[in-house]
Structure 1
Amino acid sequence: MSDVAPRAGAGRRLFWPALLSLIGVAILCTLGVWQIARMSEKRVFIDRLSAQAAGAPAAMPAASGWAALDPAALDLTRVTAQGSFIDGPVAGVRTTIAAGGPGTRQLSGFGRWIFQGFRLADGGVVLINRGFVPESRLGEIKPASGPATVTGFLRTPEGRGSFTPSDLPAQREFYTRDPTAIAASLGLGPAAPFYLEAERQGDGLTPPAGVNAKELIARIPDNHLSYALTWFGLAATLIGVFAAFAWQGRGASDGSGS
């Protein structure tokens, strides 16, 4: 009987730590499994982009069907648009481009994405992100004009964060790539609910420098495996902490009953 009471007391002391540890391990493992699933989705997405970059671009969606489209589903679809640049001013979206790795040829630093209206052959208007211009070279940029064929990637509107500065539409200066707001500042009327990010033409060092498909793909973060291992590692650590706690409690109980 002398051993039963200490063991029962130890069991009661371990109940809540065991329950909380079990819940914690379940949550951490769920997060790890979710990151593994996200990794698989991300790699399918990257493979799709790589295949698109290597193949022929799709046709631009017809303006008559834009209202029924899901911009998120179109994001980073490579297309070719035929039409003419709309005469008038351009708008700038402030940004910072990090210097590229070894072997890359790109403009970097503080600057702006240059946006201009483009009227498609079917009459629809879409905003073209012509590319990046460093702040010190903005004076070199003039509006494009005349007929053109633009190949690039459809992009969804950029979200606004809690600390994003307010746009200055009267100065055609923005802090997010929001095609609706930019189109309104340029007096373009209704425009596509997405924008077209032009592919790079030339050496990448002449502004405005469009996006390079390979560099775009390389910039897509794929850290899900490291996140998953972190969550699983935390779950294993929690198990180890509980095991040490239980072993220490068992030793204390054995000592009290001697």
Structure 2
Amino acid sequence: MPKPVRPGAVRALAAPAIASLICLAILLSLGVWQLHRKGEKEALIGRIVARSRAEPPAPLPARNDWDPARDEFERVRVTGTLLNDQETLVHGLAAGAVPGKALQGFYVLTPLKRDDDGSLVIVNRGFVPTELKDAARRQPGQVAGSVTITGMLRGSEIRTMFVPPPEPAKGEWFHRDIDGIAAARGLTVMPYLIEADATPNPGGWPKGGQLRVDLPNNHMQYAFTWFGIAACLVGVFGVFAWKRLSEERDGSASNPAT
């Protein structure tokens, strides 16, 4: 019969077992939290898609009524005059004709003076490639007179650590900073902008409809990762404990005096 394991050998496993249980609880909690986040993200995507397809488009919210959590991605329509001499170009990429190959260029952000109350709202009219940076080269891309634009509301784009800071004096912008662009132009604008839809512009440029409602939702993968690590932890501790106890039994069998 197998020689019983000494109580001291079992007690020696107590500290590693407690540490493993704590780590296991943390890993399982992270996995459950990712599943919860997955449900929240799916609900958010559903709300955004519903807003972006709303018919008829909603009126613009008043300055003091703007609530990003409620209004962002709302489909809206506005009529007014584009202030083409005040357009700002923001560096960006857009999908090209060849799948997987992006075009480098600029997004054309133009203030629009509303017909109803005279207030200004910035409109992201769409994308132009680098060779069409100069407005004169995309004529008749400039639209004169009253126009009606349909699109989705967005707040300012957050600048991440990998995005260079803007250089307003040089007209170099790398993210859609509503307040910064308005200040550089000396304008008072709404605290949001409109991402214009794909309605063709004269001359074909800028190309609107660049906004994609495709928020990443990788939480299921993250959950499987945490649960997988938890399973590996259980397996590693099991092998460790079995090996230690087996060595203890073998050592006791070879040295009966102990």
The Cα of 1:249 is off from its aligned counterpart by 1.3
**In the TM superposition, what is the alpha-carbon distance from 1:57 to its structure 2 partner?**
4.4
Query: Which residues of 2 match residues 77-96 of structure 1 at below 5 A?
Result: 77-96=74-93
1:114 is aligned, of 108, 111, 130, to: 108
CA distance in 1, matches of 2:209, 2:16: 53
Q: In structure 2, which of residues 192, 204, 208 is the aligned counterpart of residue 210 of structure 1?
A: 208
For this pair of structures, how many residues does the alignment match? 245
1:8/1:82 CA distance change after superposition, 3 Å: farther
What secondary structure, in the 3-state scheme, does the structure 2 residue paired with 1:173 have? coil
Q: Of 195, 199, 202, which aligns to 1:201?
A: 199
Partner residue, 1:222: 217
Q: Is the 8 A contact 1:172 1:186 kept in 2?
A: no
Aligned to 2:240: 245
**Alpha-carbon separation, structure 2, partners of 1:224 and 1:194:** 29
Q: Which moved more, 1:125-134 or 1:107-116?
A: 107-116
Residues 127, 205 of structure 2: 8 Å contact kept: yes
The match for 1:231 is 226
Alpha-carbon deviation of 1:101?
8.2
TM-score norm. by structure 2 comes to 0.83
Question: For residue 190 of structure 2, what is the aligned residue in structure 1?
Answer: 192
Give the one of 64, 69, 78 matched to 1:67: 64
Q: Which residue of 1 aligns with 2:131?
A: 136
- Provide the secondary structure at the position in 1 that maps to 2:176: coil
Normalising by structure 1, what TM-score? 0.83
Q: What is the CA distance between 1:115 and its match in structure 2?
A: 0.4
From the superposition, tell whether residues 68 and 22 of structure 1 become closer, same or farther in structure 2 (CA, over 3 Å): farther
Q: Which of the two has higher C-alpha Rg?
A: 2
| SS of the residue 2:207 aligns to | coil
**CA RMSD of the aligned region, Å?**
2.7
How many percent of aligned residue pairs carry the same amino acid? 36
- Taking the aligned partners of 2:147 and 2:60, their CA distance within structure 1 comes to 17
Deviates more, 1:109-118 or 1:70-79: 70-79
CA distance in 2, matches of 1:221, 1:156: 19
Query: What does the per-residue CA deviation read over 1:79-128, in whole Å, with 9 as the maximum and x for residues that have no partner?
Result: 112222235231111112344786x9xx9411111101112223332111
